[in-house]
């Protein structure tokens, strides 16, 4: 969930009233926001870097507000204020308009070289905008928030904003060899080639995260004006030449990316939010983009869409009984201008370009419910009549767990993920013999594979509890995972039961007795006859030679029991003899 | 015990005594260790009001080991004197005697002996007097006889300086008759025996009282794990509410069921390497229900079922990627797909509690695997009010009655609501779960009828368990680093029962 930090006093001034922290928290809750933290720049720095560094930093109160991940229109102060003011019916939601300039329209030409790396670009102009320090900061911050969220860290979309008065169109969006791109990047005093820049930015704490997007590509994306001035090298850095400042009057905005829909949404969000400060409020000057196929598109789209929703559908989905007029009013409070039309049951809802999150009637219904107030909805119980059933495997597991504890064994709960070493090397086996599934992106060795046996987890539990009085008797009934090409995903779980006895003596007879007890509980008689169980001498690297037996029940091998091999005991950092049993319980379903 | 010979003698002496007697004196008189008299006193005390005792401490002079030797053998100077024959002894020879050095100088200063340095074979020692009075030995013998008080303060301190005497503090009992004094103490029985029962002798025998403030002996027993005890209770609650358990015994899931089927777009951050464990082997799901896959693909990329869709290039390869399921909602999606294939539609209530996996940064409250609890109801015409109603009943069974709902965003539910409950200890609202109505873009491609709504909610199993059992670090609860003592000691899990003192770690 993105967090937006705004100055409290600036927020209250824009809202036209003040709130106590509690009142504002309440308002956020109702609207689906969360007042996450009340802090200040000074407090943040002192928390992160110590009191000394914080000396002299601003102690203006900041509200950190958590915003739902799909509400890009609430990622800046301007949007938050507009949303809340409309919600509280203090203002009407603005109409955003795209206008053609009196003179020549700005043009951005996309060449076909971009196709392989970053094929889409959109653009727009904010004409006669009036920045202040706070507005300018908010403008920069919004781009950063968009980059981190919808733009997926600039991979899908990257934004460049420029002082149009320093440039001269038409603009060209192309891709060139890194060695052929040379310009003075933002906040640098000299020119570098793209190759040099990629090296320099390797140590830049912010920019280093974006280099991978183009790093190994033969061509890098770049935007030029008609004089060959570099506007930007997306998604890495803008040129210094066209840098915007508090005094910038006319802003050229370009968004490039690999996701056309998202590029258009991002552009719409920026211009709808900041056209508020243009001379002609909420109007945006169009720009034309010529695609490599010669097609000409005009941006920003600022598309308004009409959706029809039946009032009784809203009432039925939410569980309320409101008149269509009231419902239209509720929706209008959510920036969705609505009116009752037709037979008096139809509501026509206008989806503004700021609300890209509204893609289905259910999104409209949710907004009606939010405006109605979730906590005003009458709670009722559905009349759904059903008979409950347990999942048979879990039912068996629950019954067995109880009786394992009754037999004096204590239940452990160990991780399903572990290292290759745990399930192979430490048990004297080769990993290829385990049929284990392998994780491709573990952050540490603890998450290399899914366990193929419960034994390592229990042995590690013993090792962590060596100080406890002996004997230690543990069990676990849980799932292990084995590759199985007959399954849709190529792997399946098996429900295993494992128990260990750890003491000064191996206690094989105790583990053997436990097996007998388990078979008694499962109503499996001893003996090799059909339906019975028996153990037969066996061997394996896990067990001490001559102290291992395979368990057969209902005509199939279900596991092994025995005294652990001293090498296994040692590798799990244990010092006492130990015996164990591990079986698959699925044949007993 | 009380019938020991010492205790018997003590009682007889006490009967004859005028007022009382001292334990140390008695020990001396009987010629036994003081400790055995003390033992007798203690065993008599345990019988009730037979005797009364008063602890006294007395100071006493005792001989040191060297003092003991001198009381026996005589002082060093006397021993030196006695070892000199009339014809004298070479000084060098005398010095070699055990008492030689100390005794020589003391005997010299007592003027008992003299040295002739002009003797032919070196200095020679001669007696000066015919006999000597060994005062040191006499004094020490007095002390040994318990008559130290006969010595003057100065004499005693001189002997102490010579490390022949020490002063010791002795703790003794002054014993007098108790209110139930009797010399005939019969043996107290400790336990009832079969013989006593058959002979009836228990009727005439006194029994030793039990010490009820002592702890009992805990039974040898196995124990269930606290987290799984809580799991059992949640299962019980769902079963009481008529919910059927979904199969969740498949940790490995395809991205398709884990994300795509839930209308979670392929660029969603949750599908990042940073958040999800993907599989290297087997890397891809080979079998997917292709008809359904095509409907899902179309809904994502073009929309449909009343949706605009996400308008991006949906890739089958991305959907085939295997992973460790990040939520049990993947299993719910499979269950709902199976439900959708059953015609005609039958309403259903489902639940599951099982492990999920996240490739997250680990801390005191987050592990890479945890348990998710999920409830799902599918029926015609379910409303947000129904969802809230079911949640109220569910949480009431957990002992949570004050609920509040906050609008939220989940990719696969709309409307979505976070569930908050008021925490008495923290005096604030804390999130206890997440819920919503599944999106039509998820349900309709499965083939569920259009007027069927599916409400769902989820929460973690670990958090309520940590609160319930007052555990701050999740590693003490889950995984091999568990504290077995905690497992042994953990009480029953009764979720709706009155809680103990409010815990403070709930905010974590």
CATH label of the domain that carries residue B157: 1.10.10.2330
pLDDT at A54: 79
Query: Is the CB of A152 less than 8 angstroms away from the CB of B406?
Result: no
**Interatomic CA distance for residues A537 and A549, integer angstroms:** 4
Q: How confident is the model at residue B94 (pLDDT cuts 50, 70, 90)?
A: confident
For A390, the closest of B239, B283, B409 (CB atoms) is B239
Answer yes or no: is B413 within a domain.
Answer: yes
> What DSSP element (H or E) covers A495?
strand A491-502
Q: Identify all chain A residues contacting B308, using CB atoms and an 8 Å cutoff.
A: 359-360
A301 in contact with chain B, both atoms CB, cutoff 8 A? no
SS3 B489: helix
> Among all residues of chain A, which has the CA nearest to that of B483?
A465
Residue A301 CB: number of other CB atoms within 10 A? 15
Q: Identify all chain B residues contacting A3, using CB atoms and an 8 Å cutoff.
A: none
**Interatomic CA distance for residues B208 and B1, integer angstroms:** 11
For A362, the closest of B241, B322, B439 (CB atoms) is B439
Answer yes or no: is B206 within a domain.
Answer: no
Decide: residue A322, CB within 10 A, 0-12 exposed, 13-18 middle, 19+ buried.
middle
Edge-first strand listing for the sheet containing A438-439: A417-418, A449-450, A438-439, B279-281
Q: Identify all chain A residues contacting B251, using CB atoms and an 8 Å cutoff.
A: 416, 450, 479, 481, 493
Query: Is the CB of B279 less than 8 angstroms away from the CB of A440?
Result: yes
Tell me how many domains chain B contains: 3
pLDDT at B4: 67
List the structure tokens of A257.
Answer: 């990316």
Contact A447, A586 (CB under 8 A): no
pLDDT at position B3 over 70: no
More confident residue, B425 or A276: A276
Does B295 lie in the same domain as B242?
A: yes
Answer yes or no: is B137 within a domain.
Answer: yes
pLDDT at position B151 over 70: yes
For A410, the closest of B223, B306, B386 (CB atoms) is B223
Query: Is the CB of B407 less than 8 angstroms away from the CB of A491?
Result: no
pLDDT at B27: 86
pLDDT at position B504 over 70: no
Q: B162, B191, B212 — which closes off a domain?
A: B162
pLDDT at position A278 over 80: yes
ipTM value of the model? 0.91
Does B260 lie in the same domain as B128?
A: no
Query: Is the CB of B228 less than 8 angstroms away from the CB of A440?
Result: no
Name the nearest CA neighbour of B499 among B399, B369, B417. Answer: B399
For A493, the closest of B249, B278, B455 (CB atoms) is B249
Q: How far is the alpha carbon of B211 from chain A, nearest alpha carbon, in Å?
A: 26
Does B47 lie in the same domain as B135?
A: no
**Interatomic CA distance for residues B507 and B499, integer angstroms:** 17
Answer yes or no: is B126 within a domain.
Answer: yes
More confident residue, B495 or A309: A309
> What average pLDDT does chain A have?
94
Domain A97-299 classified CATH 3.20.10.10? Answer: no
pLDDT at B186: 65
Name the nearest CA neighbour of A411 among A424, A399, A401. Answer: A401
Does B267 lie in the same domain as B244?
A: yes
Contact A354, A268 (CB under 8 A): yes
Residue A273 φ then ψ, to 5°: -65, -45
Does B82 lie in the same domain as B12?
A: no
When pLDDT is averaged across residues B102-109 and rounded to a whole number, the result is 83
DSSP state of B208: P
pTM, rounded to two decimals:
0.81
B357 in contact with chain A, both atoms CB, cutoff 8 A? yes
Does B465 lie in the same domain as B384?
A: yes
Q: Describe chain B by its helix, strand, coil percentages, rounded to 5.
A: 35, 25, 40
When pLDDT is averaged across residues A303-324 and rounded to a whole number, the result is 95
Range of lowest pLDDT (A45-54, A85-94, A228-237, B279-288): A45-54
Q: How far is the alpha carbon of A3 from chain B, nearest alpha carbon, in Å?
A: 14
Decide: residue B44, CB within 10 A, 0-12 exposed, 13-18 middle, 19+ buried.
buried
Q: How far is the alpha carbon of A393 from chain B, nearest alpha carbon, in Å?
A: 9
pLDDT tens digits, one per residue of A63-102: 999 999 899 999 999 999 999 999 999 999 999 999 999 8
Does B236 lie in the same domain as B154?
A: no
A556 in contact with chain B, both atoms CB, cutoff 8 A? no
Range of lowest pLDDT (A140-144, B65-69, B226-230): B65-69
Q: Identify all chain A residues contacting B320, using CB atoms and an 8 Å cutoff.
A: none
**Interatomic CA distance for residues B501 and A367, integer angstroms:** 40
**Interatomic CA distance for residues A384 and B201, integer angstroms:** 70
pLDDT at position B475 over 60: yes
pLDDT at position A271 over 80: yes
Edge-first strand listing for the sheet containing A556-564: A410-411, A472-483, A491-502, A578-584, A556-564, A543-553, A533-537
Answer yes or no: is B85 within a domain.
Answer: yes
B481 in contact with chain A, both atoms CB, cutoff 8 A? yes
Residue B168 CB: number of other CB atoms within 10 A? 9
For B386, the closest of A362, A382, A489 (CB atoms) is A382
Decide: residue B441, CB within 10 A, 0-12 exposed, 13-18 middle, 19+ buried.
buried
Within 276-335 of B, beta carbons closer than 8 Å to A belong to 277-288, 303, 305-312, 322, 324
Which site among A368, A379, A493, A498 would you substitute to test the B interface, given the most B Cβ atoms closer than 10 Å to its Cβ?
A379
| DSSP calls for B214-245 | S--PPPP-----HHHHHHHHHHHHHHHTTPEE
Name the nearest CA neighbour of B231 among A460, A465, A474, A397. Answer: A397
pLDDT at position A183 over 70: yes
pLDDT at position B1 over 50: no
pLDDT at position B184 over 80: no
pLDDT at position B157 over 90: no
Within 469-528 of A, beta carbons closer than 8 Å to B belong to 472-473, 475, 479, 481, 483, 485, 487-493, 495
Range of lowest pLDDT (A197-201, B152-156, B375-379): B152-156
pLDDT at position A112 over 70: yes
CATH of domain A3-88: 3.30.56.10
Q: Identify all chain A residues contacting B242, using CB atoms and an 8 Å cutoff.
A: 385-388
Answer yes or no: is B460 within a domain.
Answer: yes
Looking at A258-300, which runs of residues are DSSP E strands? 283-285, 287-290, 296-299
Within 206-245 of A, beta carbons closer than 8 Å to B belong to none
More confident residue, B14 or B47: B14
Does B294 lie in the same domain as B157?
A: no
Within 305-324 of A, beta carbons closer than 8 Å to B belong to 316-320
B453 in contact with chain A, both atoms CB, cutoff 8 A? yes
pLDDT at position A221 over 60: yes
Within 449-468 of A, beta carbons closer than 8 Å to B belong to 450, 457-458, 460-461, 463-465, 468
CATH of the domain at B56: 3.30.1370.240
pLDDT tens digits, one per residue of B426-466: 788 888 999 999 999 999 999 999 999 999 999 999 988 88
pLDDT at B499: 56
For A382, the closest of B232, B377, B484 (CB atoms) is B377
Query: Is the CB of B385 less than 8 angstroms away from the CB of A378?
Result: yes
Which site among B384, B442, B492 would you substitute to test the A interface, given the most A Cβ atoms closer than 10 Å to its Cβ?
B384
DSSP state of A490: S
pLDDT at B500: 52
B377 in contact with chain A, both atoms CB, cutoff 8 A? yes
**CA distances for A360 relative to A263, A351, A414, B265, B414, angstroms:** 21, 11, 43, 15, 10
pLDDT at position A461 over 60: yes
Can you identify the CATH homologous superfamily of domain A392-588?
Bira Bifunctional Protein; Domain 2 (3.30.930.10)
Answer yes or no: is B311 within a domain.
Answer: yes
Q: How far is the alpha carbon of B348 from chain A, nearest alpha carbon, in Å?
A: 6
Whether cis (ω within 30° of 0) applies to the bond prior to B172 is: no
B95 in contact with chain A, both atoms CB, cutoff 8 A? no
Helices (H), B145-217: 153-161, 194-199
B416 in contact with chain A, both atoms CB, cutoff 8 A? yes
Q: Identify all chain B residues contacting A393, using CB atoms and an 8 Å cutoff.
A: 247, 249
For A481, the closest of B252, B416, B477 (CB atoms) is B252
Does B70 lie in the same domain as B50?
A: no
Q: How far is the alpha carbon of B53 from chain A, nearest alpha carbon, in Å?
A: 41
Within 258-287 of B, beta carbons closer than 8 Å to A belong to 267, 269, 273, 277-287
Counting one residue from A and one from B, how many pairs have CB atoms under 8 Å apart? 286
Q: Identify all chain A residues contacting B404, using CB atoms and an 8 Å cutoff.
A: 29, 375
Does B43 lie in the same domain as B131?
A: no
Within 256-275 of A, beta carbons closer than 8 Å to B belong to 259-262
pLDDT at position B180 over 60: yes
pLDDT at position A340 over 50: yes
pLDDT at A45: 84
Q: How confident is the model at residue B498 (pLDDT cuts 50, 70, 90)?
A: low
When pLDDT is averaged across residues B359-377 and rounded to a whole number, the result is 90
Q: How confident is the model at residue A293 (pLDDT cuts 50, 70, 90)?
A: very high
pLDDT at A106: 95
Name the nearest CA neighbour of B130 among B113, B145, B115. Answer: B113
Query: Is the CB of B407 less than 8 angstroms away from the CB of A443?
Result: no
pLDDT at B502: 45
Domain limits at B57? 3-61+169-177
Q: Identify all chain A residues contacting B484, using CB atoms and an 8 Å cutoff.
A: 410, 461, 465, 468, 472
Query: Is the CB of A318 less than 8 angstroms away from the CB of B224?
Result: no
Does B39 lie in the same domain as B118?
A: no
Within 417-456 of A, beta carbons closer than 8 Å to B belong to 417, 437-443, 446-447, 450
When pLDDT is averaged across residues A411-432 and rounded to a whole number, the result is 95
Residue B266 φ then ψ, to 5°: -70, -15
Answer yes or no: is B207 within a domain.
Answer: no
For A379, the closest of B309, B368, B389 (CB atoms) is B389
Does B70 lie in the same domain as B40?
A: no
pLDDT tens digits, one per residue of B227-277: 999 999 999 999 999 999 999 999 999 999 999 999 999 988 888 888 899
More confident residue, B166 or B413: B413
**CA distances for B92 relative to A508, B104, B121, angstroms:** 76, 11, 10
Q: What percent of chain A has pLDDT over 70?
A: 100
More confident residue, B144 or A142: A142
Domain ranges of chain A: 3-88, 97-299, 392-588
């Amino acid at each position: 969930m993105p967090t937006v930090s705004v100055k409290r006093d600036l927020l209250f001034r824009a809202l036209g009233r003040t709130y106590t922290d509690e009142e504002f928290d309440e308002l956020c809750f109702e609207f689906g926001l969360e007042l996450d933290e009340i802090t200040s720049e000074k407090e943040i720095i002192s928390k992160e870097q110590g009191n000394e560094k914080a000396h002299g930093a601003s102690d203006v109160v900041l509200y950190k507000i958590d915003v739902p991940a799909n509400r890009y229109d609430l990622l800046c102060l301007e949007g938050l204020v507009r949303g809340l003011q409309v919600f509280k019916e203090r203002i009407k939601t603005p109409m955003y308009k795209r206008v053609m300039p009196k003179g020549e329209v700005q043009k951005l030409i996309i060449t076909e070289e971009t196709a392989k790396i970053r094929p889409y670009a959109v653009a727009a102009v904010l004409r006669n905008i009036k920045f202040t320090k706070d507005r300018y900061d908010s403008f920069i911050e919004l781009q950063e928030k968009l980059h981190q969220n919808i733009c997926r860290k600039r991979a899908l979309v990257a934004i460049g904003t420029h002082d149009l008065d320093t440039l001269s169109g038409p603009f060209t969006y192309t891709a060139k060899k890194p060695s052929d791109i040379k310009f003075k990047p933002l906040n640098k005093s000299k020119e570098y080639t793209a190759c040099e820049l990629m090296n320099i930015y390797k140590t830049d704490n912010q920019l280093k995260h974006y280099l991978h997007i183009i790093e190994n590509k033969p061509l890098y994306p770049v935007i030029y004006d008609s004089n060959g001035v570099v506007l930007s090298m997306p998604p890495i850095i803008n040129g210094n030449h066209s840098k915007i400042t508090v005094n910038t009057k006319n802003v050229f905005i370009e968004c490039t990316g690999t996701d056309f829909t998202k590029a258009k949404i991002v552009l719409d969000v920026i211009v709808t939010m900041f056209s508020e400060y243009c001379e002609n409020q909420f109007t945006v000057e169009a720009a034309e983009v010529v695609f490599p196929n010669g097609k000409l598109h005009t941006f920003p789209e600022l598309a308004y869409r009409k959706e029809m929703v039946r009032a009784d559908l809203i009432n039925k989905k939410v569980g309320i009984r409101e008149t269509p007029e009231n419902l239209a009013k509720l929706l209008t409070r959510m920036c969705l201008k609505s009116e009752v039309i037709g037979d008096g049951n139809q509501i026509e809802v206008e989806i503004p370009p700021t609300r890209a999150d509204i893609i289905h009637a259910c999104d409209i219904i949710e907004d009606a419910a939010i405006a109605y107030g979730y906590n005003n909805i009458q709670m009722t119980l559905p009349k759904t009549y059903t008979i409950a059933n347990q999942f048979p495997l879990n039912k068996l597991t629950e019954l067995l767990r109880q009786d394992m504890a009754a037999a004096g064994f204590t239940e452990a709960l160990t991780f399903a993920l572990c290292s290759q070493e745990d399930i192979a090397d430490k048990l004297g086996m080769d990993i290829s013999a385990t049929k284990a599934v392998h994780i491709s992106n573990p952050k540490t060795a603890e998450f290399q594979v899914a366990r193929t046996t419960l034994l390592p987890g229990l042995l590690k539990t013993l090792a962590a509890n060596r100080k406890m009085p002996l004997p230690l008797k543990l069990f676990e009934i849980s799932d292990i995972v084995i590759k199985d090409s007959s399954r849709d995903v190529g792997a399946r779980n098996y429900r295993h039961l494992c128990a260990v006895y750890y003491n000064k003596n191996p206690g094989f007879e105790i583990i053997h007795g436990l097996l007998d007890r388990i078979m008694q509980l499962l109503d499996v008689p001893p003996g090799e006859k059909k339906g019975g169980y028996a153990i037969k001498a066996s061997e394996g690297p896990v067990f001490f030679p001559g102290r291992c037996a395979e368990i057969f029940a209902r005509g199939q091998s279900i596991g092994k029991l025995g005294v652990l091999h001293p090498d296994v005991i040692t590798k799990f950092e244990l010092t006492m003899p130990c015996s164990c049993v591990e079986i698959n319980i699925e044949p007993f379903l | 015990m009380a019938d020991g010979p010492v205790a018997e003698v003590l009682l007889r002496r006490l009967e004859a005594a005028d007022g009382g007697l001292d334990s140390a004196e008695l020990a001396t008189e009987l010629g036994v260790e003081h400790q055995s008299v003390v033992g007798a006193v203690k065993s008599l005390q345990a019988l009730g009001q037979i005797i009364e005792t008063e602890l006294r401490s007395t100071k006493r002079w005792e001989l040191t080991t060297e003092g003991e030797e001198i009381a026996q053998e005589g002082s060093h100077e006397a021993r030196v004197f006695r070892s000199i024959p009339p014809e004298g002894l070479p000084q060098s020879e005398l010095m070699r005697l055990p008492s030689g050095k100390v005794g020589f100088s003391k005997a010299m200063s007592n003027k008992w002996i003299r040295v002739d340095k002009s003797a032919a074979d070196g200095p020679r020692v001669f007696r000066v007097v015919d006999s000597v009075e060994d005062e040191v030995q006499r004094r020490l013998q007095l002390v040994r006889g318990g008559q130290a008080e006969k010595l003057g303060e100065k004499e005693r301190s001189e002997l102490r300086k010579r490390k022949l005497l020490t002063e010791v503090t002795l703790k003794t009992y002054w014993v007098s008759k108790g209110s139930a004094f009797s010399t005939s103490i019969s043996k107290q029985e400790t336990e009832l025996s079969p013989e006593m029962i058959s002979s009836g002798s228990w009727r005439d025998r006194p029994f030793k009282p039990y010490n009820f403030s002592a702890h009992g002996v805990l039974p040898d027993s196995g124990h269930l794990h606290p987290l799984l005890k809580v799991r059992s209770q949640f299962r019980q609650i769902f079963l009481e509410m008529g919910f059927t358990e979904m199969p969740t015994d498949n940790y490995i899931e395809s991205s398709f069921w884990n994300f795509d089927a839930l209308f979670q777009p392929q660029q969603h951050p949750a599908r990042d390497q940073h958040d999800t464990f993907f599989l290297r082997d087997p890397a891809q799901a080979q079998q997917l229900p292709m008809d359904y896959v095509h409907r899902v693909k179309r809904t994502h990329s073009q929309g449909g079922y009343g949706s605009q869709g996400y308008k991006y290039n949906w890739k089958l390869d991305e959907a085939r990627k295997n992973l460790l399921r990040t939520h049990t909602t993947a299993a719910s999606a499979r269950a709902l797909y199976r439900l959708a294939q059953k015609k005609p539609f039958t309403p259903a209530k489902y639940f599951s509690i099982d492990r999920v996996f996240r490739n997250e940064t680990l801390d005191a409250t987050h592990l890479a695997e945890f348990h998710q609890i999920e409830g799902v109801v599918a029926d015609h015409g379910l409303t947000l009010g129904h969802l809230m109603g079911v949640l109220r009943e569910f949480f009431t069974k957990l002992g949570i009655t004050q609920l509040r709902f906050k609008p939220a965003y989940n990719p696969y539910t709309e409307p979505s609501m976070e569930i908050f409950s008021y925490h008495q200890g923290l005096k604030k609202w804390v999130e206890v779960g997440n819920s919503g109505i599944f999106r039509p873009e998820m349900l309709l491609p499965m083939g569920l009828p259009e007027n069927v709504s599916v409400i769902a909610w989820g929460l973690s199993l670990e958090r309520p368990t940590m609160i319930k059992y007052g555990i701050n670090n999740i590693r003490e609860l889950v995984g091999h680093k568990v504290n077995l003592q905690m497992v042994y000691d953990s009480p029953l899990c009764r979720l709706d029962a009155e809680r103990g003192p409010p815990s403070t770690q709930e905010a974590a």
